[in-house]
Amino acid sequence: MHPSHSMNTAPPPGLLDCQPLTTDAFAPYGEVLDLWAPASRTINQGTSGRLDLPAALDLAGDQGQAVLAVFHAQAQNPEGPCHMLERHRQGSQTFVPLTGARCRLLVALGQDQPDLRTLRCFEVTGQQGFTLHKGTWHHPLMAMDPGAFLVLERQGPIEDCEIHSLPLSVRLSPL
């Protein structure tokens, strides 16, 4: 085999490998919600188990308030391409699949614009939800299956969505 064709070659430029969504890997960007973790206590005369999820919600910035929405998502090409990222400086966003739909989550950190060195792609199962910290750059919802997602986010008098076009399109690794 030619040395330049080793088994550990880097992905082609603009191709980003996706990784499973785990608490540790996702910590700089937000929190993972394990919807099927064991219940922490029994409620309702023993007929239900209650699981309290991480709740670092930040929804009151700039006179905002919490709002619940349902996003009815169509399945998209899981490989992209992705041309932009957005962020919400005034509030966090939480996504919870209602119908078991999987999605891909493309995120980055950065002050004035996304720091592409921090660009990551996570595979989100239909049994996971996630909360994006306020200010985390992210691609809009990329559902891999058609389905509904419950979204808890900030709503306020001023629109809180900043969009940044990526200098190069990003393709995500095949499933």
- Give the global pTM: 0.86
Greater pLDDT, 59 or 80: 80
Amino acid sitting at position 9: T
The mean of the pLDDT values for the chain is 87
Cα torsion through 134, 137, 143, 147, rounded to 10: 20
Q: How many CB atoms lie within 10 A of CB 155?
A: 15
Amino acid sitting at position 14: G
Distances (CA, A) of 76 to 19, 112, 131: 18, 29, 21
With beta carbons less than 8 A apart as the criterion, state whether 42 and 49 touch: yes
Per-residue confidence band for 6, with pLDDT thresholds at 50, 70 and 90: very low
pLDDT of 35: 87
Per residue in 99-125, pLDDT (tens digit) is 999 999 999 999 999 999 999 999 999
N residues, the chain: 175
- As a whole number of angstroms, the longest Cα–Cα distance in the chain is 68
Which 3 state secondary structure label does DSSP give 146?
Answer: coil
Q: Is the pLDDT of residue 135 over 70?
A: yes
Greater pLDDT, 149 or 5: 149
Greater pLDDT, 11 or 30: 30
Q: What is the SS3 string spanning 74-126?
A: CCCCCCCCEEEEEECCCCCEEEEECCCCCEEEEEEECCCCCEEEEEEEEEECC
pLDDT of 128: 96
Q: Which residue has the tokens 């393709």?
A: 171
- What is the distance in angstroms between the CA of the first residue and the CA of the last residue of the chain? 27
Please provide residue 3's backbone torsions phi and psi, each rounded to the nearest 5 degrees.
-55, -30
CATH architecture of 13-172: Sandwich (2.60)
State percent of the chain over pLDDT 70: 91
Q: Is the pLDDT of residue 8 over 80?
A: no
With beta carbons less than 8 A apart as the criterion, state whether 51 and 39 touch: yes
Distances (CA, A) of 99 to 95, 121, 149: 12, 22, 8
pLDDT of 13: 57
Domain parsing of the chain, residue ranges: 13-172
pLDDT of 11: 44
